[in-house]
Structure 1
Amino acid sequence: MIVKGLLGVLLAVGVSYHFVGPILLNDTPHEVPTLPENNWGPIGAKEDSSIRPFKIDIPKNVIEDLKQKLSGTRNLTPPLENTGWSYGVSGAYLKTIIDYWRNKYDWYKRQELLNKYPQFITQIQGLDIHYIHVKPSKALKNGKPLRVLPLLLVHGWLGSVVEFQKIIPMLTTPRPDADFVFEVIAPSLPGYGFSQGAVRPGLGHAQIAVIFKNLMIRLGFNKFYTQGGDWGSAITSDIAILFPERVLGSHLNMCWVSGPRAMFWQFLGSYFPSFVVDPEHVAKLYPMSKHWSRTMEESGYFHIQATKPDTVGVGLNNAPAGLAAYILEKFSTWTNPDYRFRGDGGLLEKFTLDELLDNVMIYWVTNSITTSVRLYAESFSAENRDKLDHIQSYVPTACAVFPHEILYIPEKIAKLRFKNLTQFNHLPRGGHFAAFEEPKVLADDVWTFVKNLERA
């Protein structure tokens, strides 16, 4: 029986390879579409190419209203016995968070901290885009000027530019073994935080790539490096595909490859793992049923945000406790899946409550959770779905693979899309929010990638 089953598998794989293989394994470069530079702002609004200094300055009545809403939080349902956060955020622990938020969290002190880096707003394609812009702390080495390399740093959903508070100085401070240093530009995605959201449909991650390319040109950078995770990974990959002449190198801490070719190799690897993944990393991808079940468990939010983002936004925009629950649950399970079995969700293993609430506050004080989750609906609309996801990138690329990332793509599959994959590192610790959790680990990987490219 075992022999018959094995022969059946071999026959299925052989037939698939013979008939479907030529299509799936075709490595001919795809034609890159040209995306129009649409105006996403209100019709008739005055064009403004100026760059305006910006500081976060939230009116007191907004904070007073927040505290009033927090004090009116209804009794939270306690979790089932011995379930931790496996059913979602624990009502018992969320009560602790809300008490801290209302009585101990000092927004004005935190606002001052968040204003420590220079911030600006400029209008790109009709939208006011907010960004942090930090120049090197020192651009000299042994009395000689260092080369200053622009680095576009892009966050994802559930995060914000708050994630970069600790990594920015690690990138803008010279290192003794490098003859360059970074100048960091970290924009808020359109519809996130202090960046204006689109007023009409169609602004998916590929279109944001066009906006951010134009932002860099506005700032005088015709060529630049990029780094991104989550949506930031998709957006910076898109920039590399659409504008390869602009990108010196693309560093990703969430390399993603989709399409039939990737699925074919992943399926083949479920029978012959060595075809796809190195032996020491097989458990990160197989058995497929285990990892797909885990993906399904974590992706309920994805479906609702890709279909009815405005509905979910209503409750989150009006209940700070609900907003905190929705956001912080992912900072538990996406940091380490084992944290969902703990009563405190493991939140304080990598973060402080102040840091986590800083990020929640960016969504609350700007009323931007609805416009942020629309990115899912726009990116997975019939028009935008797979617009660039199947197209190869030929820009030098690095994949930083953190052990607790929610999705794992082995190097062999990554090379199906990233044709100039010059660095693929399995890093010692960390999860989805790499810049926030392990800023030094991520910064070191970025420095290594760029040093190798610059020396070459």
Structure 2
Amino acid sequence: MFAEVLVAVAIGGLILFLVRRSPTQVLKTEDGWWGAGEPPGGGEDVTIRPFRVATSDEELEDLYRRMDQTRPVPSLEDSQFNYGFNSRSLEKVVSYWRHDFDWRRQVDKLNRYPHFKTSIEGIDVHYLHVKPEKVPEGSAAIPLVMVHGWPGSFYEFYGLIPLLTEPEDPQDLVFEVVCPSIPGYGFSEAPHKKGFDSICAARIFHKLMKRLGFQKFYAHGGDWGWLVTTNMAQLAPGIVKGLHVNFAPPSKPGLRVALSVMLGRRFPKMFGFTDTDVQRLFPCTEKLVVESIKESGYMHIQATKPDTVGRGLNDSPVGLAAYILESFHDY
């Protein structure tokens, strides 16, 4: 027993030492150009342009035609979702989209809030900008940028926006909300060159907020948005006054994480583990390795050959639906 306590104290001291010596990380970045070809002379157009989501009879007819021409492929008997998204469940989803879903009503819902576009580093960046109608006297609206993830969009925040901009209690904080689309998502133009990453997106969103007149602001992100907004805070800690994330996996597991994996089952309190944490983490090989490999095929494809799967799904709304639904099912 004494030896176990001694080991625990030694490990705790090592962890404390590593925490205290870890320097605060401030990222560095340089301006980029992600548009097609070379940057034009004379500087970039900084105009902010109103934007509205729109569709047409021709687009909907084409969508229906491609749905109708899809050739269903049955799943293996009793396979459930073990080999991918089940074909019978997919047929129900497609039938709903084809016969019951009101596409025009959805377009109207998307246009509930004001949309805009502006060119930053050569690509058109789409965003929502929602200002509160009423701000308590003597106070100011709090600027807040919220960034979505994959496979999501700015629409993730439609339920939150009225709670932030129109609180029921007049004494509550009131926010001015900006919801940008990550380049390549939604209505934001995709980069035309290699090398675009979360830090580039963070830099572009900093420029967007500055263009909108915000010198300091708060940020929220989920899924990929957590990394983009975290990078925003790392690029300019003095500008991002506060950061909230709802998905934050350790991107670079260090010694502390390794020690928690090795010793957490035996010394759970040392690492702050609850009984539920222990049940979900151990045995580690099964929970952290085997399950991750079995349920992340879509991630491996995107990380290695995104063009192949993208071109394969580009003309198939049903195939695209199956791929996206499968990713949600993996979560």
Contact 2:26 2:236 in 1 (8 A): no
The equivalent of 1:35 in structure 2 is: 29
What are the superposed Cα offsets for residues 68-95 of structure 1, whole Å, 9 maximum, x if unpaired?
11001102313431x4323321101111
The equivalent of 1:105 in structure 2 is: 101
Larger-Rg structure: 2
Equivalences for residues 365-404 of structure 1 within 5 A: none
Unpaired runs of at least 5, structure 1: 335-456
Q: Return the alpha-carbon distance in structure 1 between the equivalents of residues 162 and 324 of structure 2.
A: 26
> In 2 relative to 1, CA 280–177 (structure 1 residues): closer, same or farther, beyond 3 Å?
farther
The equivalent of 1:186 in structure 2 is: 179
> Higher mean Cα deviation, 30-39 or 319-328?
30-39
Q: Which amino acid aligns with 2:266?
A: Y
Q: Which amino acid aligns with 2:179?
A: A
> In 2 relative to 1, CA 188–196 (structure 1 residues): closer, same or farther, beyond 3 Å?
same
The equivalent of 2:69 in structure 1 is: 72
Quick one: which of 52, 55, 72 aligns to 1:55? Answer: 52
Quick one: which of 128, 134, 137 aligns to 1:138? Answer: 134
Q: Return the alpha-carbon distance in structure 2 between the equivalents of residues 269 and 50 of structure 1.
A: 54
What are the superposed Cα offsets for residues 115-150 of structure 1, whole Å, 9 maximum, x if unpaired?
11100001111110000111114213xxx3442001
TM-score (norm 2): 0.88
Equivalences for residues 113-124 of structure 1 within 5 A: 113-124=109-120
> Shift in Å at residue 287 of structure 1?
3.0
> In 2 relative to 1, CA 232–126 (structure 1 residues): closer, same or farther, beyond 3 Å?
same
> Shift in Å at residue 24 of structure 1?
5.6
Quick one: which of 219, 222, 225 aligns to 2:218? Answer: 225
The equivalent of 2:324 in structure 1 is: 327
Contact 2:125 2:187 in 1 (8 A): yes
Q: Return the alpha-carbon distance in structure 1 between the equivalents of residues 187 and 308 of structure 2.
A: 22
Determine whether 1:201 maps to 2:189: no
What are the superposed Cα offsets for residues 311-349 of structure 1, whole Å, 9 maximum, x if unpaired?
110111121111001112233342xxxxxxxxxxxxxxx
Q: Which amino acid aligns with 2:98?
A: R
* Identity value in percent: 40
Q: Which amino acid aligns with 2:149?
A: G
Q: Which amino acid aligns with 2:90?
A: L
Matched residue count: 320
Quick one: which of 295, 299, 324 aligns to 1:298? Answer: 295
Q: Return the alpha-carbon distance in structure 2 between the equivalents of residues 156 and 332 of structure 1.
A: 16
> In 2 relative to 1, CA 21–223 (structure 1 residues): closer, same or farther, beyond 3 Å?
closer
Quick one: which of 292, 306, 309 aligns to 1:309? Answer: 306
Contact 1:239 1:247 in 2 (8 A): yes
Unpaired runs of at least 5, structure 2: none
The equivalent of 1:128 in structure 2 is: 124
Quick one: which of 172, 187, 205 aligns to 2:165? Answer: 172
> Shift in Å at residue 114 of structure 1?
0.8
What are the superposed Cα offsets for residues 420-441 of structure 1, whole Å, 9 maximum, x if unpaired?
xxxxxxxxxxxxxxxxxxxxxx
Contact 1:190 1:198 in 2 (8 A): yes
Determine whether 1:158 maps to 2:151: yes
Once superposed, what is the RMSD of the aligned Cα atoms? 2.6
Q: Return the alpha-carbon distance in structure 2 between the equivalents of residues 192 and 328 of structure 1.
A: 17
> Shift in Å at residue 301 of structure 1?
1.6
> In 2 relative to 1, CA 217–77 (structure 1 residues): closer, same or farther, beyond 3 Å?
same
The equivalent of 2:206 in structure 1 is: 213
The equivalent of 2:259 in structure 1 is: 265
The equivalent of 2:280 in structure 1 is: 284
> In 2 relative to 1, CA 265–148 (structure 1 residues): closer, same or farther, beyond 3 Å?
farther
Equivalences for residues 344-423 of structure 1 within 5 A: none
TM-score (norm 1): 0.65
Give the secondary-structure state (helix, strand or coil) at the position aligned to 1:271: coil
